[in-house]
Structure 1
Amino acid sequence: MTVNAVRLNHAVLFVADLERSLAFYQDAFGMEVVAQEPRANAAFLRLPRSGNHHDLGLFGVGAQPPRPRGAIGLYHLAWQVDTIEELEQARTTLANLDAYTGESSHGATKSVYAKDPDGNEFEVMWMLPKEEWGAYENAAPIDRLDLPGEVRRWAGVGTAAELVPVPAP
């Protein structure tokens, strides 16, 4: 029997400087601090449009050498936006924060990538409408992203609501 999970609820990161990381995630995503635990040097943040208690936990552990890219462990987190225009705005925001590292098309998803102040990589992605996945339903290519072209094609199309869970049988 498997675990009957619906989706990943939140992520928790170890960070060198809690205040620096709080400022970054507030500036990048508009997150609000919903709880702090001073004894653990921890804070819990919620996205502005989230119905979740918290979407991200941060635990300050002090300066440490960065983990080399490709080392065992978490590669990146992916934050979903509702529209392709929001993805375009995310790219601008992340570039303005000097955090932007690249972008790609994965067929059914369009993505921009960035790093937080500790080098934790993350993705901001927009998903095509499910009925448009077609050949990408069981594929995840890594192709060049033509974001202006995608904005022209998909302007105003929201897809985040398609993630409403279906009750288990």
Structure 2
Amino acid sequence: MTVAAIRAVRLNHAVLFVADLERSLAFYQQAFAMTVVAREPRANAAFLRLPRSGNHHDLGLFGVGAQTPRPRGSLGLYHLAWQVDTIEELEEARLTLANLDALTGESSHGATKSVYAHDPDGNEFEVMWMLPKAEWGAYESAAPVDRLDLAGEVARWSGVRTAAELVPLDES
């Protein structure tokens, strides 16, 4: 039996279970300037949108009360990745996350440059900037984990916007 592949174009949104809905809302609003677009009190849930998103919502949060955190490296979600349009925005994200005491690391993956952080419940996330697709070269089929020289990347890629390259034209 042949199974046809699903023709998705991107991940539309993520939904997280959180201990304290209001605490998590405050964090994501402060970190990403997200706005609450809807609330569902019966489910203790809220849905947030990024400022430049054309999406209905980018993140859903469901408050479930305090629980023992899942051990790092156990089965389940590792992290979410939020893309920024310019390398300068990645530099700004690093500062914002450091100011929120949420920054946990940074790295270069060749085609992408990333900073990592965690939310109040320990959910890890990445903020990343992608090189222009024409510059991927050897990185098209590789994902190294190298030290990030963010100052050097800003000097090299200043003003280069790449978010518009997200969804290629459908050739079929």
TM bucket (normalised to shorter chain) is over 0.9
> Any idea what SS the aligned residue of 1:164 has?
coil
1:92 correspondence with 2:102: no
1:146 correspondence with 2:149: yes
Task: Please give the alpha-carbon distance, in whole angstroms, between the structure 1 residues aligned to 2:18 and 2:152.
Answer: 37
> Any idea what SS the aligned residue of 2:94 has?
helix
Equivalent residue in structure 2 for 1:132, among 120, 130, 135: 135
CA-CA distance at 1:168 after TM superposition: 5.6
Equivalent residue in structure 1 for 2:30, among 24, 27, 32: 27
Equivalent residue in structure 2 for 1:44, among 43, 47, 55: 47
1:3 correspondence with 2:35: no
| Alignment coverage as a number of residue pairs | 169
> Any idea what SS the aligned residue of 1:79 has?
strand
Equivalent residue in structure 2 for 1:78, among 81, 85, 97: 81
Instruction: Indicate the residue corresponding to 1:110 in structure 2.
Output: 113
- Identity, % of aligned pairs? 85
Task: Please give the alpha-carbon distance, in whole angstroms, between the structure 1 residues aligned to 2:168 and 2:110.
Answer: 22
Aligned-pair Cα RMSD in Å: 0.7
Structure 1 residue runs of 5 or longer lacking an equivalent are none
Task: Please give the alpha-carbon distance, in whole angstroms, between the structure 2 residues aligned to 1:160 and 1:148.
Answer: 20
Q: Say whether the 8 Å CA contact 2:9–2:167 is kept in structure 1.
A: no
Q: With the length of structure 2 as denominator, give the TM-score of the two structures.
A: 0.97
CA-CA distance at 1:166 after TM superposition: 2.0
Q: With the length of structure 1 as denominator, give the TM-score of the two structures.
A: 0.99
